[in-house]
Amino acid sequence: MTSFADLPLRADLVGRSPYGAPQLHVPVTLNVNENTHPVPDEVRADILRRVGAALDEVNRYPDREFTALREALARYLGHDLSPAQLWAANGSNEVLQQVFQAFGGPGRTLLTFPPTYSMYPNYALTTGTAVVEGRRDDDFRLSPETVVAEIERTRPDLVVLAAPNNPTGTPVGLDAVRAAYDAFEGVLVVDEAYGEFMPADAPSALTLLPGRPRLAVSRTMSKAFAFAGARLGYLAADPAFIDALRLVRLPYHLSSLTQAAALGALDHAPLMLRMVDEIRTQRDRTAAGLEALGYRVWPSWTNFLLFGGVEDPRALWQGLLDRGVLIRDLAIPGALRVSAGTAEETDLFLDAMTSLTPVGAR
Interface ranges with ligand PLP (CB under 6 A): 33, 91-93, 117, 162, 166, 191, 193, 220, 222, 228, 233
108, 157 Cβ separation under 8 angstroms = yes
Q: CB of 136: closest distance to ligand PLP in angstroms?
A: 15
Type of residue at 114: P
Quote the least distance from Cβ 202 to ligand PLP, whole Å: 17
Q: Considering beta carbons, is residue 306 or 352 the nearer one to ligand PLP?
A: 306
Q: Which of 25, 22, 47, 29 is nearest to 232 (CA)?
A: 47
User: One-letter amino acid identity for 27?
Assistant: P
Q: CB-wise, 89 or 320, nearer to ligand PLP?
A: 89
Contact 235, 112 (CB under 8 A): no
Residue 177 CB, shortest distance to ligand PLP, in Å, is 15
The one-letter code for the residue type at 73 is: L
CB hemisphere CA count around 9 (13 angstroms):
14
Whose Cβ is closer to ligand PLP: residue 34's or residue 63's? Answer: 34
Choose between 166 and 286: whose C-beta lies nearer to ligand PLP. 166
Write out the DSSP string of 192-243: -TTGGGS-TTSPPGGGG-TT-TTEEEEEESSSTTS-GGG--EEEEE-HHHHH
- Residue 339 backbone dihedrals phi, psi, to 5 degrees: -80, 150
Give 177's DSSP letter. Answer: H
Judged by beta carbon, residue 264 or residue 289, the one nearer ligand PLP is 264
Task: Check the CA dihedral 317-320-322-325 and report its sign.
Answer: negative
Smallest gap from Cβ 75 to ligand PLP, in A, equals: 20
Q: What are phi and psi of 220, to 5 degrees?
A: -150, 155
**Which residue lies nearer to ligand PLP by CB, 17 or 19?**
19
Nearest approach, Cβ of residue 43 and ligand PLP (Å):
19
If the CB atoms of residues 93 and 258 are measured against ligand PLP, the closer one turns out to be 93
Ramachandran angles phi, psi of 88, nearest 5° = -145, 160
Let me know: does 141 contact 86? Beta carbons within 8 Å.
no
The least CB distance from residue 24 to ligand PLP, in Å, is 18
CB of 164 to ligand PLP, least distance (A): 9
Q: Which residues pair with 111 in a beta bridge?
A: 132, 159
Q: Decide whether 304 or 349 has the Cβ nearer to ligand PLP.
A: 304
User: Is the Cβ–Cβ distance between 43 and 265 less than 8 Å?
Assistant: yes
- Closest CB to ligand PLP: residue number: 91
Smallest gap, in angstroms, from Cβ of residue 351 to ligand PLP? 27
CA 221/CA 323 separation, integer angstroms: 30
Smallest Cα–Cα separation from 234: which of 215, 213, 258, 217? Answer: 217
CA distance 311 to 126: 35
Shortest distance (Å) from residue 318 CB to ligand PLP = 24
We find the least distance from the C-beta atom of residue 188 to ligand PLP, in angstroms, to be: 15
Q: In terms of CB distance, is 187 or 350 closer to ligand PLP? A: 187
Asked whether 147 and 174 are in contact (CB, 8 A), the reply is no
Nearer to ligand PLP, 33 or 357 (CB): 33
Question: CA Rg, the chain, in Å?
Answer: 21
Sign of CA dihedral 353, 356, 359, 362: negative
